[in-house]
Structure 1
Amino acid sequence: MLTRLTIRDFVLVDRLDLAPARGFGTLTGETGAGKSILVDALAFVLGERAEAGLVRAGGERAEVTAEFDLAALATVTDWLRANDFDADEGLLLRRVMDAGGRSRAYINGSPATLQQLREVAEALVDIHGQHAHQSLLRADAQRALLDTHGDLDALRGELGEAWRAWRAAESARAVAGENAEALAAERERLDWQVSELERLGFAGDEWSALNAEHRRLAHATSLIEGVRAALDLVADDESGSASRLDLAVERVDALLDVDPALAEAAELLRSAQVNLSESTSILRRYADRVDIDPQRLDEVERRIEATLDCARKYRVTPEGLPALLEVAKKRLAEIGETTDLAALDARVAATRTRYATLAQRLSESRATVAAALGTEVSRVMQQLALAGGRFEVALLPVSGGSANGDEQVEFRIAGLSGGEARSLAKVASGGELSRISLAIQVVTSQAARVPTLVFDEVDVGIGGGVAEVVGRLLRELGRERQVLCVTHLPQVAACADWQWRVLKENDASGVRSRLLTLDALGRVEEIARMLGGVEITAITRQHAEEMLTTGATD
């Protein structure tokens, strides 16, 4: 759960250090005090998109840090390790944005991407915004909510891949039928090209070896003459360099007893003597090996000419011929697949069958989840002054299927404006829609795995006894989760286990929001303010105390 939220220079907030408790807590305050700013700050550190306007006037950068206890979140710990983040001491998320709009994010002190923040946030916090009911009018949002509630996202993703594979197979089959003549001509050309290149049999490293051998064969006479001349200069018995060097070594060695300073020169002369002897042996071996071979020279020249002709023909370098052969073979294989109509038909059938199997599984699972969701939401609706209303999830067939399955999801309401179930967008008024949205959120949150739930003024448009029911529902959620609700209703706030109050202040540095953690007396005063407005009477305080007592014992 969320254990600490630290905010610096975020919109109207200069400095806030918050420590949310377990259970159900409320955030109250006058309109415009900045209650929803705290929810925005939490959304910011969890990876939501943001603009430079979030930096408080006069501040250099906005910074939000959120700490979480991972004691019961082994999946998050596993995710941290899998993404190379430290996972030994809980979770610390930090996000900073400068006045220019540049944003940086960190997970346990290491740089992270916004996508990584969003990924880990999915297992930590579920935020229900005050305009969440508007998104429920969209078909895609309704389908996403149903699938997420039923833990069907993975199956829907698998089905989407099967759908795309089926479409791709059908497209390949259509293309093969339309381009049969062109593909046959291309295959004939490639067959001839592959045959020619394979007959040439040119290897990638052959070109440099061929040229080296050609140079050697073409200059064989001059090589032999030059080596033999060098041997005559070095190895002549009387006047050769070897004989003269031997004599020099003898004379310097004889002088070492007279002056040891000649030792270094003597050593160098002996090294030269050894090197000269080795080079002489190498030259003799070379002279014995090199031979004038006109026939081999002719073979090498014909090989070079054939290689150059082929390279010029296909407009590549000689070294590029082996790669050209591989490309041609690969394309031939592709054409073979795309022109094998029987194989293409079989692939279409196989991918269609896989899609149909997954689509049936998804449809059956959706039907089960839809029935249960309809029953649960209808039950909660009765408690929210929507007596007689019935919530249904209709699964409407989609001709030919889609990447999201064989049906479209539509939320429907019956019993509010007649007996027949009709689309949620066409039936519910603004106030009814808000309460239906709250019922859906309460039911789906009960099934969610995230430990922290945030409700941002989702109780707009209700009051009286309905507000008390909302408070009790949120308190019930708080028995198993950490629940934070931004509210303007005293009936909801009175049901909370703990309460914060947001104040807006003006000073020399400008307007800023400040937060108070309310004790028992503070909660009485805040509930009384929410009940009575500017003037708080003894009767108002007494009513506030009664509400708090009732809320705590429900």
Structure 2
Amino acid sequence: MLTHLTLINFALADHLALDIEQGFNVLTGETGAGKSLLLDALSACLGERTDTHYVRYGADKADVTAVFSYQPESAEAHWLTEHELDDDTGEIHLRRVVFATGRSKAWINGRPSSLTELKEIGRLLVQLYSQHSQQQLLEPPYPKHWLDRYSNFADPANAVREAYATWQKNIQQHQAALDAQATRIQRIQTLESQLEELEEVIQTDYRETEQEFDRLSHHEHIMQDCGFSLNVLDEAEQNITQEVASIIRRLESHSGRSEQLSSIYNSLLNAQSEIDDATANLRQFIDRQSFDPERMEQLNATLEIFHRLARKYRTQPEQLKQEYETWQQELEQLHHLEDPETLAEQVEMSYQTFMQKAQHLDEIRRAAAIPLAKQLTEQVKPLALPEAYFEFKFEPLTPANAEGLSAIQLLFTANKGIPPQPLARVASGGELSRIALVMQVMNAEKTEAEVLVFDEIDVGISGGTAEVVGRLLADLAQHVQLLCITHQAQVAAQSDQHLLVKKQQTDPASSTIIDLDEQQRILELARMSGGVEISETTLQHAKQLRQLKFQPT
């Protein structure tokens, strides 16, 4: 339930804090007063798109906070737990800041959050119905979606979509196998030939072969330079090993007299050890080297094979082994390519599964359509449509698709003895608005959200019809919290809380929202009924409207 809203520099609101009550809450006010202010702010907190016009003129940012209460085992409670956002207060604080630069930031219970997270939690908390919702009735998918939603057919409908997707995927795989079958054998033969050609050469490491060949090619120079180095290190009369040892002996007696000399002495000891190791390894390297002309010829032949194959397959010699592995993997996949006949069986099995689920969905839709159309008829009749009649028409889809086996139309007639026709063809604008209102209220009875927002959905109705709508919404508010913008005094009179939006002539202009007491309610209802000039007659009429709120139905 929505308990509190705070608006700071949001559109026409300078600083506005408002407590929202349980039950049926209405917002009224003169045209241009800013009645949509509250709903725009709430939408911002629920992650909807915003822009810079929401920032009050002269301010650098708009700041909105919405506070909701929730039950421990509710869907929103589980969502908060999953996202580690529950704080054991039983409240959800949604905050949105919109900057004049166009950027915005969001928080949930004090933690920075994304707009996606705001929308996720928002869908669990609030359901919004606008005055333009009647246009949905004219869209072909709407009757089916409304039937599924009201009858809780979401799971079987999703099962049909998934089964259809599986069937279509199997069809594509089968066709791909048929297409591949023509070239498969030829490709296998090509790969086998290429693998056979590379099989022997890749047993040799190209880098090691190239390095060994390079070493043999420069054998004479290597031995000359190694001999010279060994002589300087250890075999000459004044060699490096002896000179370093002499230096170490001279510094050893002084190393205890200075920390810096001690460090130098230790470094020289380490250097002496490194030189000794290097000298021993160099001597061992020289002793093991020998020039083998036959080995050099063999290595040269191997390298020529590498380069020839690399040119043939347009790659680098060192990449031939990787190419071999890639071809081998492709060959294995071709050998394991599913047989088209096996895939054809899978296509048939997935088709049968789809048809089974689709037929079940079609049957339960047809069974639910009759009582639902009757219920819709009974709900619409009191709204100045005494001869209203509805029925659902099912027409086979050829071919069947992810939505099922039938296209579903909602047929309507407002006149006795006239056969029902598609709603879009025969319903007037006023009739559409009333039908849309009833369908939305029926949907609202099934929603999991605890807050329902109706934005001027009673446009196009008046008089006794508006009174019936008011009672309809008041009955719904026994189960959920309602927030409704209305121009109809008959609707507003049925509310539990009446909020008046007023524009103030400040500089810049601003709007405020007043929680009306009973006497103020009567004056506002009189204004809504009779206009600017409030007479005793309009006051009496307003009082009578309020008395209807407390009369048993």
TMscore range, shorter length = 0.7 to 0.9
Question: Structure 1 pair 388/104, CA: closer, same or farther in 2 (3 Å)?
Answer: same
Matches within 5 A, 1:84-483: 85=85, 89=89, 90-99=91-100, 101-177=102-178, 180-201=181-202, 206-236=205-235, 240-243=239-242, 246=245, 270-332=269-331, 340-414=339-413, 416=415, 418-483=417-482
Counterpart Cα distance in 2 of 1:260 and 1:523: 101
Q: Distance in 2 between matches of 1:400 and 1:277?
A: 87
Q: Secondary structure at the match of 1:442?
A: helix
**What residue is the counterpart of 2:48 in the other structure?**
48
Answering whether residue 530 of structure 2 is matched by residue 532 of structure 1, we say: yes
Residue 507 of structure 1 aligns to a residue whose secondary structure is coil
Contact 2:383 2:465 in 1 (8 A): yes
- Measured in 2, the distance between the counterparts of 1:433 and 1:343 equals 53
Distance 2:453 2:268 in 1: 91
Q: In the alignment, residue 423 of structure 1 is paired with which amino acid?
A: P
Change (3 A) 1:475 1:247: closer
Matched-pair identity in %: 34
Report the alpha carbon displacement of residue 58 of structure 1 after superposing the two structures with TM.
Answer: 4.3
1:101-142 CA distance string (max 9 Å, x none): 444444344444443332222111111111111111101233
The 10-residue stretch of structure 1 (419-428 or 77-86) with the greater mean CA deviation from structure 2:
77-86
Deviates more, 1:230-239 or 1:486-495: 230-239
> Residue in 2 aligned with 1:66?
66
Per the TM alignment, residue 164 of structure 1 is displaced from its structure 2 partner at its CA by 3.2
Matched with 1:518 is 516
Q: Could you say what secondary structure the match of 1:356 adopts?
A: helix
Moved more, 367-376 or 230-239: 230-239
Amino acid at match of 2:23: G
The C-alpha deviation readout for 1:72-98, integer Å capped at 9, x for no partner, is 564224334545656655333333444
- CA distance in 2 between counterparts of 1:103 and 1:130 reads 28
Q: Deviations over 1:363-420 (max 9, x none)?
A: 2343344344323322312332323423333333211211222222322224636453
Superimposed CA distance per residue, residues 330-389 of structure 1 (whole angstroms, 9 cap, x where no aligned partner): 544565576732133123223323322332343234334434432332231233232342
Name the SS for the 1:408 alignment partner.
strand
Bigger Cα displacement from structure 2, 389-398 vs 522-531? 389-398
- The corresponding residue for 2:33 is 33
Q: Matched residues in 2 for 1:161 and 1:193: separation?
A: 43
The one-letter amino acid paired with 1:190 is L
Structure 1 CA distance for aligned equivalents of residues 191 and 456 of structure 2: 69
Partner SS, residue 3 of structure 1: strand
Deviates more, 1:299-308 or 1:121-130: 299-308
Quickly say closer, same or farther: Cα 1:196–1:480, change in 2 above 3 A. farther
CA shift in 2, pair 1:438/1:213, >3 Å = same
| Greater Cα shift, 428-437 or 417-426 | 417-426
The structural deviation recorded for 1:329 is: 4.3
| CA deviation after TM superposition for structure 1 residue 453, in Å | 0.5
Kept in 1, the 8 Å contact 2:55–2:99? The answer is yes
Q: Which amino acid aligns with 2:157?
A: R
The 1-side partners of 2:124 and 2:246 are apart by: 91
Q: Check conservation: 2:71, 2:77, Cα contact below 8 A.
A: no
Return the TM-score normalized by structure 2: 0.87
Deviation of 1:271 (Å): 4.5
- Structure 1 residues 345 and 532 mapped into 2: Cα distance closer, same or farther (>3 Å)? same
User: CA offsets, 1:430-475, max 9 Å, x none?
Assistant: 2222111111111111111110011112122223332222222211
Aligned length: 549
Say if 1:431 and 1:347 are closer, same or farther in 2 by CA, change over 3 A.
same
Q: What 5-or-longer segments of structure 1 have no aligned partner?
A: none
State the AA in 2 paired with 1:128: Y
- Please, which runs of 5 or more residues in structure 2 have no aligned partner? none
Shift of 1:245: 5.1
Amino acid at match of 1:171: Q
118-127 vs 182-191, which deviates more?
182-191
Q: Could you report, residue by residue, the CA deviation over 1:171-229 in whole angstroms, capped at 9, with x for unpaired residues?
A: 343455456544544444334334434444368xx443333333334444544454444
Please say if residues 504 and 513 of structure 1, whose CA atoms lie closer than 8 Å, have aligned partners that are also in contact. yes
Q: TM-score, normalised by structure 1?
A: 0.86
